[in-house]
Amino acid sequence: MSKFSEYLRQMIKKSGESVSAVSRSIGAERTSIHKALADERILSYKVVQNLARHFNLTIDERNEFFRLYYILLQGEDNFRIREAVCDLLNYLSTLQFHSTPVLKMTNVNLEDTLLRGEYAIRSAIHTLLLDECCRQDHCEFNFFLPVKLDITMELMDLWLSGRTFTVNQLLCFHSGENAVIENLQFLRAVIPLSLASRGQYRPYYFHEKSGSVTLTPMSYYIITPNYLIQFAGDLSTAQIQKRQNWWNTSPAIFITYCNAVIL
């Protein structure tokens, strides 16, 4: 039984009316309502509107009623994809690209730190990125981030405040069940960065099945001129290490390191 037909059945039961009475009230055939309750027919949009008015649904009830109707009409997978696309477009429409005050940072010591908890990890990443940009101009960052870690706004604030730096980000576009929605979440971060960076954001992508890239407990990382941060995909644990003098950020070493993590 579909969620829509179950919701409709509950509304009719709550009203205390018979299917025949509801059908007469909204000007629909009794058999069409019965078949809709048995998932043998999809009601027309006009009938669904009339049902919503007949039962005098609240705004929340009406939204849920029509949401379940659209899922039934489009199929759940297609509905989720369309919903993700709409969320992406709505998000992009609210972005504001304007200069912000120059961000300043005092000296911090993040050497060889073990972090636990999402809040501590997010705070440390924000502090480290700002500190590195304040230390020098034209620095370079290399990222491999899980979907859960979205630092779009932090990077945009730095670029829009006049900081000059380059970001190389490795993106894993997934294949398999629910992959389309996961990949749209990546685009939600990639598109604003591409616009705000003025050519200083460089995404590199590959395709893989979900879960196959996380072969070690802390497969994700951020490489900065002075630090290496490795962290778990659920942001429960992170390790910050001071970069060695011999480890530079050349593209060859970056690609080699990426391949070692992935393979």
**pLDDT per residue over 109-126, tens digit each?**
566 678 888 998 898 888
Q: Identify the three-state secondary structure at position 90.
A: helix
Give SS3 for 180: helix
Closest CA to 241 of 229, 253, 231: 229
Do 64 and 173 reside in the same domain of the chain? no
Query: Do both 8 and 120 map to the same domain?
Result: no
Between residues 92 and 128, the one the model is more confident about: 128
- Asked, for residue 224, whether it belongs to a domain, the answer is yes
* Domain carrying residue 184: 113-262
* 119 assigned to some structural domain: yes
Residues 69 and 129 in one domain: no
**pLDDT tens, residue by residue, 28-64:** 898 999 999 999 999 999 999 999 999 999 999 999 9
Residue 183 identity (one-letter amino acid): N
Distance CA 190, CA 235 (A): 20
Say whether both 145 and 255 belong to one domain: yes
- 189 in the same domain as 59: no
* Cβ atoms within 10 Å, residue 20: 11
Find the range with the poorest average confidence among 9-23, 31-45, 141-155.
141-155
Counted residue by residue, the chain has a size of: 263
Q: Is residue 83 part of a domain?
A: no
Residues 185 and 238 in one domain: yes
Name the domain count of the chain. Answer: 2
Q: pLDDT-based confidence at 263, cuts 50/70/90?
A: very low
| Residue 10: C-alpha distances to residues 5, 55, 62, 77 (Å) | 9, 11, 14, 25
* Any domain includes 196: yes
- The reply to whether 66 and 163 lie within a common domain is no
Residue 135 and residue 240 in one domain: yes
Do 231 and 117 fall into the same domain?
A: yes
Residue 86 contacts by C-beta under 8 Å, 6 or more apart in sequence?
none
pLDDT confidence band for 233 (50 / 70 / 90): confident
- Which pTM value belongs to this model? 0.60
Q: Which of 47, 74, 101 is the last residue of a domain?
A: 74
Q: What is the pLDDT of residue 76?
A: 82
Interatomic CA distance for residues 69 and 93, integer angstroms: 27
Same domain, 210 and 145: yes
Please report, as a single letter, which amino acid is at residue 219. S
- The residue among 56, 74, 92 that closes a domain is 74
Is 36 within the bounds of a domain?
yes
Structural domain contains residue 7: yes
CATH code of the domain covering residue 181 = 3.30.870
Kind and range of the H or E run holding 4? helix 3-15
**Torsion over CA of 164, 111, 115 and 129, rounded to 10 degrees?**
-10
Among the candidates 24, 51, 74, a domain finishes at 74
pLDDT confidence band for 136 (50 / 70 / 90)? confident
Question: Considering the domain boundaries, does residue 95 fall inside one?
Answer: no
Residue 198 lies in a domain: yes
- Which among 15-24, 98-107, 150-159, 237-246 has the top mean pLDDT? 15-24
Instruction: Give the C-alpha separation, 243 to 229, whole Å.
Output: 10
3-state SS assignment for residue 42: coil
Closest CA to 129 of 120, 147, 114, 141: 141
Task: Judge contact between 88 and 188, C-beta under 8 A.
Answer: yes
Residue carrying structure tokens 């591409």: 194
Q: Based on the domain organization, do 249 and 139 belong to the same domain?
A: yes
Instruction: Tell whether 134 and 241 lie within a shared domain.
Output: yes
- Calculate Rg over the CA atoms of the chain: 26
Q: How confident is the model at residue 198 (pLDDT cuts 50, 70, 90)?
A: confident
Mean pLDDT computed over every residue of the chain = 80
CATH code of residue 51 = 1.10.260.40
